[in-house]
Amino acid sequence: MKDRVRKLFPSPVFKSLIWIFFGILLILPLLAFYPWKYRVVFVFLFVCFTILDLLFPLVATFFLAASGVFFGNHPGGRFLELQDCLWIYWCVRGIVENKLYGNRILEDPFWKSRIGVLLLSFFGTGILSLIVNPELFVDFKYYQKGWFWFLHSTELEPYYPIKLLFLGILFLFGLIARKNWLETNSETNSFYLIFASGVGFGMIVSIGFGWIEYFSPILKWKLNYYHRWLDGYKFLALPHSLIPGLKRYLPRFGIQSLFWNRSWFAVYLVSGLPFLFYWIFNISKNYKINIFKNNKLFKENSSEKTSPYIWVLFFMVLLVFGAVFF
């Protein structure tokens, strides 16, 4: 079976063209909903990403993991469907390439781990919740149908829970497949660390924008203009603090960084904390990581012992988060 599938890709160039075509095919149904200038930009973006993923898949993984900071407006917001398409491409290519290398996702040791069993239980609960709510599928007739409307759905539409469950399962399979494929085809075994570093980098960017927004009225005005352009209006909320002594230092409105409201900003930061701490505690062991395949730029002489500076960095992160939230 594997040999028959490989025969469908007679040359690397033809294989690359297939993946570029697949990336464009994902976004093609969405183009009718954008002005023509945006169509050119989005097609160019997808072609660039697919080429980057074909040449340096680990670099593409890093940038895609970090790109969440630019898609932080509310569900159903403008252009959010673009990142869904990028993740779908990323997952599907990982699953296909992993299969071509003879690896089987379901035989991965991850499924026998505690977190693997927990995630399977979580997805099973999600599937059962859809089964016991058949009225959710009956409501489809009241909503517009299509690829765009499926990805563009909000939390008040019946497509939304199905989309979240579908993308969640696809992402987990894609993540494991990419890890097995790239570790088989590369000299590095730091796929999870590179993915976590991308998420951590995005968090650092968002926190940086948040602090600059606090000190710079000009940037805050530009961010307000950006959100009005993106969603048509800007959600403003009064700040709050759990520590009374900090109230006098609070701005007039809550810090939202690149996000539509401070709640989504907080959700992004909290959900990214496990990746950030994974990155911090492993960077001392893998501080010289080559994410460009087949390029030996550094010598491997990392230490297995966690540096005390990592603990200092850890508590600095907690201090920054404490100042942001409280």
| 187-201: pLDDT as tens digits | 556 888 899 999 989
Chain-centroid distance of CA 214 in Å reads 26
Are 157 and 180 in the same domain? yes
- Give the pLDDT score at 226: 81
Burial 173-183 (b: 16+ CB within 10 A, else e): bbbbbbbbbbe
Please give the share of the chain, as a percent, with pLDDT higher than 90: 18
Q: What is the predicted pLDDT for the residue at 298?
A: 36
Instruction: State mean pLDDT over 268-274.
Output: 85
Whose CA is closest to 75, among 253, 242, 261, 219? Answer: 261
User: Which one of 109-113, 174-178, 214-218 scores highest in mean pLDDT?
Assistant: 174-178
The confidence band for 89, taking pLDDT boundaries of 50, 70 and 90, is very high
* 163 compared with 219, residue with greater pLDDT: 163
Do 23 and 155 reside in the same domain of the chain? yes
| Same domain, residue pair 114 and 226 | no
Of 185, 215, 234, the residue that ends a domain is 185
The answer on 268 and 211 residing in a single domain is yes
Alpha-carbon span 18 to 54, nearest angstrom: 11
281 and 223 in a common domain: yes
140 and 210 share a domain?
no
Total of domains in the chain = 2
Q: What is the mean pLDDT of residues 193-212?
A: 88
The pLDDT of residue 293 is above 60: no
Q: Is 186 a residue whose pLDDT tops 80?
A: no
Q: What percentage of the chain reaches a pLDDT higher than 70? A: 75
pLDDT on residue 276 = 84
- Single-letter amino acid, residue 189: N
Q: Read off the pTM.
A: 0.81
In 3D space, the residue among 237, 213, 215, 214 whose CA is nearest the CA of residue 225 turns out to be 213
**Same structural domain, 281 and 178:** no
Lowest mean pLDDT among 72-81, 116-125, 212-221, 224-233: 72-81
Nearest to 50 by CA among 93, 99, 101, 5: 93
- pLDDT top residue among 91 and 7: 91
Give the HSE-up count for residue 54: Cα atoms under 13 Å, Cβ half-sphere: 18
Mean pLDDT of the chain: 79
Q: How far apart are CA 308 and CA 326, in angstroms?
A: 27
213, 286: one domain: yes
Q: What is the mean pLDDT of residues 132-141?
A: 85
Instruction: Please give the residue range of the domain that contains residue 157.
Output: 1-185
**Cα atoms found within 13 Å of the Cα of residue 290, Cβ hemisphere only:** 15
Instruction: With H, G, I as helix, E, B as strand and everything else as coil, classify residue 295.
Output: coil
Cα distances (Å, whole numbers) of residue 79 to 73, 155, 224, 238, 325: 9, 16, 17, 27, 28
* Pair (21, 130) in one structural domain: yes
| Highest mean predicted confidence (pLDDT) among 10-19, 57-66, 213-222 | 57-66
Question: How many CB atoms sit inside 10 A of residue 298's CB?
Answer: 11
Given a contact cutoff of 8 angstroms between Cβ atoms, the answer to whether 239 and 250 are in contact is: yes
Residues in the chain: 326
